């Protein structure tokens, strides 16, 4: 899979960009604050409908354009994508509209997705472009909060599994409704009779999510273990990926201890395709936690409380690993993602590497650049191309990024 052409309008510091992208490796270089990361972000956003950086989507709209005195401001991201099975035109629009009856300065914001120039639901945009993103801050996946690790599973899975994405979006709605009802009951307004309607929805959708996450983690763990053991630590370290789902069996929605979480994860991974059995267990757990949930006014068990961990020799890398061990494990995981996507789709994903090469030691750098050279298309950013070998630079297409413009360095003659 490759992007042959990218165009951006009013996206971040790009007022207007029309860019042809070649096969193979493209090295985007330039000084700080010129738009290198923004370009990768645009591609990532088209693939996942999420930004790795912005806390609010409005931040993606070019701020000068956003301040113009116009009733409607539109940002556009468009990619011409070429795959084994054909070409596609995918587009995301960011639309800021002045509210007619609102106070001055107030505006609404929405997004619109298009595939082959036809409007589609946002989630139907996903899967048309698949990427694996490498960031220096990726280690935070291990050290940060469970919500970041859930987000990682969701974004990665949504790129290849539309059914997962659909179930996830419906689950989140059902969860909101169930929680709202629980709060109403706490306040003496809602009726307990209605609760089973939402609980059943949570069970139906939640069991699909749990099963698919369990399968994903098993598959990607196998790849990551192999890479880590064989290539990165040369037989020194075995990493394991543990699924830690919140499916306790102690009757009040709390896990007794970490072993309890792990046991639930192992059970899910062994039974990931038995949605009936998963649904039964989730239903039982929700029933046991109901008293607790009614006290808190929130649903305390289910996939929205999931977590996972990478361990070496049984120890959680997020809590006990050295910085170098964490970096290696994350690199193994990300490289595994590439193989996992290719195995499932028959197409190599596009690799996006934002300033990661500078942070790696020789072995890890070699392994990553090897993956880059084997990919059909990779976009790398660097402030200093001098850190790459001449051999690497010779086979890459160089582009200079300067103040929201991108210039081809030299034409490679074939």
Ligand X SMILES: Nc1ncnc2c1ncn2[C@@H]1O[C@H](COP(=O)(O)OP(=O)(O)OP(=O)(O)O)[C@@H](O)[C@H]1O
Positions touching ligand X (CB under 6 A) are 12-13, 30, 32-38, 59, 61-63, 383, 401
Q: Is the dihedral of CA 283, 289, 293, 299 positive or negative?
A: negative
> Least Å distance between CB 113 and Mg ion?
26
> And the tokens for 314?
């049984």
241 binds, among Mg ion, ligand X, none (CB under 5 to 8 A by kind): none
Tracing tokens 């992208």 back to the chain, one arrives at 21
Nearer CB in complex with ligand X: 12/212: 12
β-bridge partners, 351: 132, 378
Question: Per rule CB under 5 A, is residue 332 in the interface with Mg ion?
Answer: no
> Least Å distance between CB 256 and Mg ion?
45
Compute the distance between CA of residue 96 and CA of residue 21 in angstroms, rounded to an integer. Answer: 29
- Which residues have CB under 8 Å from 348's CB, separation 6+? 1, 338, 341, 342, 374, 375, 376
User: Strand, helix or coil at 348?
Assistant: coil
Nearer CB in complex with ligand X: 10/269: 10
Question: Per rule CB under 5 A, is residue 269 in the interface with Mg ion?
Answer: no
Nearer CB in complex with ligand X: 77/224: 77
311 binds, among Mg ion, ligand X, none (CB under 5 to 8 A by kind): none
Question: Per rule CB under 5 A, is residue 26 in the interface with Mg ion?
Answer: no
Binding mask 30-69 for Mg ion (x = CB under 5 A): ------xx--------------------------------
User: Strand, helix or coil at 118?
Assistant: strand
User: Strand, helix or coil at 208?
Assistant: helix
17 binds, among Mg ion, ligand X, none (CB under 5 to 8 A by kind): none
Nearer CB in complex with ligand X: 66/317: 66
The DSSP bridge pattern shows strands 377-382 and 350-354 to be parallel
Compute the distance between CA of residue 379 and CA of residue 28 in angstroms, rounded to an integer. Answer: 7
Nearer CB in complex with ligand X: 63/320: 63
Residue nearest to Mg ion (CB): 37
CB distance 125 to 115 below 8 Å:
yes
Compute the distance between CA of residue 12 and CA of residue 187 in angstroms, rounded to an integer. Answer: 45
Where along the sequence are the contacts to Mg ion (CB under 5 A)? 36-37
């Amino acid at each position: 899979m490759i992007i042959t052409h990218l165009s951006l309008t009013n996206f971040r510091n790009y007022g207007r960009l029309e860019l042809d992208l070649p096969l193979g490796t493209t090295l985007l270089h330039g000084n700080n604050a010129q738009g290198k990361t923004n370009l990768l972000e645009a591609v990532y956003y088209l693939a996942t409908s999420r930004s790795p950086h912005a806390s609010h989507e409005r931040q993606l709209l070019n701020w000068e354009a956003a301040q113009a005195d116009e009733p409607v401001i539109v940002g556009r991201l468009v990619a011409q994508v070429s795959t084994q099975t054909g070409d596609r035109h995918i587009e995301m629009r960011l639309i800021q509209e002045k509210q007619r009856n609102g106070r001055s300065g107030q505006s609404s914001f929405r997004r619109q997705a298009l595939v082959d120039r036809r409007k589609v639901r946002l989630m139907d945009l996903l899967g048309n472009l698949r990427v694996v993103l490498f960031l220096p801050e990726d280690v935070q996946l291990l050290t940060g909060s469970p919500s970041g690790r859930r987000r990682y599973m969701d974004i990665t899975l949504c790129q290849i599994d539309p059914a997962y994405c659909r179930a996830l979006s419906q689950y989140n709605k059902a969860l909101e409704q169930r929680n709202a009802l629980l709060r109403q009951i706490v306040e003496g307004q809602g009726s307990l009779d209605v609760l089973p309607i939402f609980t059943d929805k949570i069970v139906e959708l939640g069991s699909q999510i749990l099963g698919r996450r369990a399968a994903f983690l098993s598959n990607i763990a196998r790849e990551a273990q192999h890479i880590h053991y064989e290539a990165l630590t040369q037989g020194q370290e075995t990493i394991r990926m543990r699924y830690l789902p919140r499916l306790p069996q102690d009757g009040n929605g709390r896990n007794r201890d970490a072993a309890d979480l792990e046991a639930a994860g192992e059970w899910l991974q062994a039974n990931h395709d038995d949605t009936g059995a998963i649904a039964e267990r989730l239903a039982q757990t929700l029933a046991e936690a109901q008293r607790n949930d009614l006290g808190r006014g929130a649903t305390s068990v289910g996939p929205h409380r999931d977590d996972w961990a990478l361990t070496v020799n049984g120890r959680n890398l997020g809590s006990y690993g050295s910085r170098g061990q964490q970096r290696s494990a994350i690199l193994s995981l990300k490289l595994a993602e590439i193989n996992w996507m290719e195995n499932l789709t028959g197409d190599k994903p596009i690799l996006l590497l934002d300033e990661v090469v500078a942070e790696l030691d020789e072995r890890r750098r070699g392994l990553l650049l090897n993956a880059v050279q084997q990919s059909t298309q990779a976009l790398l950013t660097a402030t200093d191309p001098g850190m790459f070998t001449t051999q690497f630079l010779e086979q890459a297409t160089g582009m200079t990024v300067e103040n929201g413009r991108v210039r081809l360095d030299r034409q490679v003659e074939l």
